[in-house]
Amino acid sequence: MSDTDTTVPVTVLTGYLGAGKTTLLNRILSEEHGKKYAVVINEFGELGVDNDLVIDADEEVFEMNNGCICCTVRGDLVRILSSLMKRRQKFDGIIVETTGLADPAPVAQTFYMDEDVKRATRLDAIVTLVDAKNLAARLDDSKEAASQIAFADIVVLNKMDLVTEEEAAEVERRIRAINPYAEIRRATKSEVPIEAVMGREAFKLERILEREPEFLSGEDNHSHNEDIMSLSFEVDQPLDEGKFNQWIGELLQVKGQDLLRTKGVLAFEGQDDRFAFQAVHMIADGDYIGPWPEGAARKSKIVFIGRDLNRPRLRRGFEGCIAAPVAE
Amino acid sequence: MSETVNDADFLLSSRGKGEDLGAWVVGATFSRDGKAAAFALGDGTLRLASTAELAGEWKRVEAHDGACLSMVADVASGFLTGGDDGQLLRTANDGSTEVIANLGTMKWVDHVAAHPDGLRAASVGKKLHLFGKAGKLREMEHPSSVGGIAFDTKGKRVAAGHYNGASLWFVNSKDGSPKVLPWKGSHQGVWFSPDGTHVVTTMQENSLHGWRLSDGQDMRMSGYQAKIKSISFTAKGRWLATAGADCIVLWPFFAGGPMGKPPMELAGGDGILCTQVACHPQHEVVAAGFDDGLVLMAEIASGKVVPVAAPGRGAISSLAWNPAGTQLAFGTETGFAGLVDLSKR
């Protein structure tokens, strides 16, 4: 791979039916940005999508034949994205709108599991639209609503005109309890600046954990008994790279189905550069991302967003990766 | 270095024609009568060449509004293409076009197939549309999107690859259900062996799967380093040549093979991925295209390799022989197309 990134950015829009996905999509497409997008939609809403290149796909989730039941990809996306690459000069980016009930994991995993898709495209960000008025009910009656928030890089809290400030604050609290790392954008009629949702590079290793969480992560964030929660751990001492790889490898192998997203920025013993790590279920990606910022403490931090997370065990595991002290 | 490159380009420069067409070459093929060659492009156009004068000008045909997604040689002559404009289109050797079917706006005609007996097939999503001489015969639905389609040599059956297997349909039967060849995973391209005894599919994983139709015996052909985009049986079906490795991989379909037999490897050694293969229509010779743009021919018995076009013009994305086995057409991902005459002079 050369330094110049020739891959096409892909933005994924998720959210329940009626949350405002199509309105946001049309907003993105109609804005004067001079960019052309190919749009993949999976269900026809009441609103049409006004664009030259709209592809109507059936969501098809395929298991990969590698013995791992959470290694699923979207077969329709593999086919469509591979085909779009044969005329990539015709657009600047791709937007994939999922159905309301879609689990975002197979979509995200497609960008890591399929070699053709990986070679030609990059996942820019997962944008989840939620309806401020109805989110609480959706969280209570479905599993997908929480998954969509857990996977989100940006949550657009839509239909703000329908709720009071207190109701909005409560909804935000529940979003943060699931995923304190997502950026929340309040909106009415899906009105958000286009740069808030496009070109975010949220899956770029260099940008992992760049944002401070909306909650201090010292305490457990699942006070409302959310099905999905996030945990974060930090250590000051450098980690042993081999120990970390072994621990995280085993952890993802065993617990990958419950771990929706894992992100870390790590200081390895004997390395001047930061190591960034991310995983979607058990599919992991990691690399050195350059030196620590001037004056920044060399702290290792890891964040898990998932179900049934055992805090003491994860903490012990992470702390167990601390490199043994060396005599100088 | 430049000397080897010149050598490798000897056939293309002395006995062929190459041109930069500016868009991904989705397909390269010759008409069944051998009189024309066509390149189908990612910008929706075709380029037609007369095989009588390879050096002549190629004709541009505005075929699809969007992109050409697939192309095969049509029934007796001409070409059959599917596009993302929902059209199944026939283009005659002279460049005139005729819409065989409009299969829906916003629908992609992903795969096409044709048979000399007047049969045509096209897949759109989960559906396979079958056409005879007098028009549409039937529509067949599959459990998931169709990844590839093929007629058998006799034109009696049509096969579709999909998730968890392949379906075989008898062309002339009105039966509502196909014979399903099951195997877990996502199957894409599908091929019959020339004698109709085996079906082989390429998979989402870096492997092939096959079935012996007489008893349903499964054949797993794995160990590839990349997805297999191209496979081709030799004329009598003794060998199955495949891309997907840093050499041409040939599976023996004789003496009990391919089960339990190691494949033969040809033209390897430089670590470059083979992306396309095409077996000669009569002899046990296979043409192969590589990720760096190299095109070569290899004789299976001797392993002797002859370069056709030098590397450097983009990964080979399509490759085909003419029916007589005297001309070779190829195209690349970056839009270069070449035609080479290999006949004795």
- B172-227 pLDDT, tens digit per residue, is 887 779 999 999 999 999 999 999 999 999 999 999 999 999 999 999 999 999 99
The size of the A-B interface in CB pairs under 8 A is 65
How far is it, in rounded angstroms, from Cα A207 to Cα A36? 25
Is the pLDDT assigned to residue B82 strictly greater than 70? Answer: yes
In this prediction, residues B11-28 reach a mean pLDDT of 94
Mean pLDDT lowest among A131-135, B18-22, B257-261? B257-261
**B107 contacts chain A (CB < 8 A):** yes
Pairing of strands A72-74, A61-63: antiparallel
Of A85, A87, A115, the CB nearest to B226: A115
- Contact at CB, A73 and B204, closer than 8 angstroms: yes
Residues 73-102 of A with CB under 8 A from B: 73, 75-76, 78-80, 83, 85-87, 89-90
Whole-number pLDDT of residue B211: 97
Q: Note the pLDDT tens digit of each residue in B273-313.
A: 999 999 999 999 999 999 999 999 999 999 999 999 999 99
The whole-model pTM stands at 0.90
- Contact at CB, A87 and B163, closer than 8 angstroms: no
The residue type found at A285 is D
How far is it, in rounded angstroms, from Cα A6 to Cα A10? 13
ipTM associated with this complex: 0.88
Give me the average pLDDT of each 10-residue run along chain A (328 residues): 71 92 91 88 71 82 79 91 89 92 92 91 95 92 91 95 94 92 94 92 84 55 69 94 95 93 93 93 92 88 94 95 77
Residues 36-75 of B with CB under 8 A from A: 42-43, 66-67, 69
Whole-number pLDDT of residue A214: 58
Whole-number pLDDT of residue B2: 40
- Contact at CB, B26 and A86, closer than 8 angstroms: yes
- Contact at CB, B43 and A60, closer than 8 angstroms: no
How far is it, in rounded angstroms, from Cα B255 to Cα B259? 10
**B227 contacts chain A (CB < 8 A):** yes
Whole-number pLDDT of residue B6: 56
User: Which residues in chain B have their CB less than 8 angstroms from residue A42's CB?
Assistant: none
- Contact at CB, A75 and B186, closer than 8 angstroms: yes
**B183 contacts chain A (CB < 8 A):** no
Whole-number pLDDT of residue A2: 38
Of B26, B126, B204, the CB nearest to A62: B204
CA distance B282 to chain A (A): 32
CA distance B201 to chain A (A): 15
Query: Is residue B258 reached through a cis peptide bond, with omega within 30 degrees of 0 on the bond before it?
Result: yes
3-class DSSP assignment, residue B310? coil
Residue B235 CA neighbour count, 13 Å, CB half = 12
User: Which residues in chain A have their CB less than 8 angstroms from residue B335's CB?
Assistant: none
Whole-number pLDDT of residue A3: 43
Is the pLDDT assigned to residue B255 strictly greater than 90? Answer: no
Place of tokens 């790279």: A241
Mean pLDDT of chain B: 94
How far is it, in rounded angstroms, from Cα A224 to Cα A175? 11
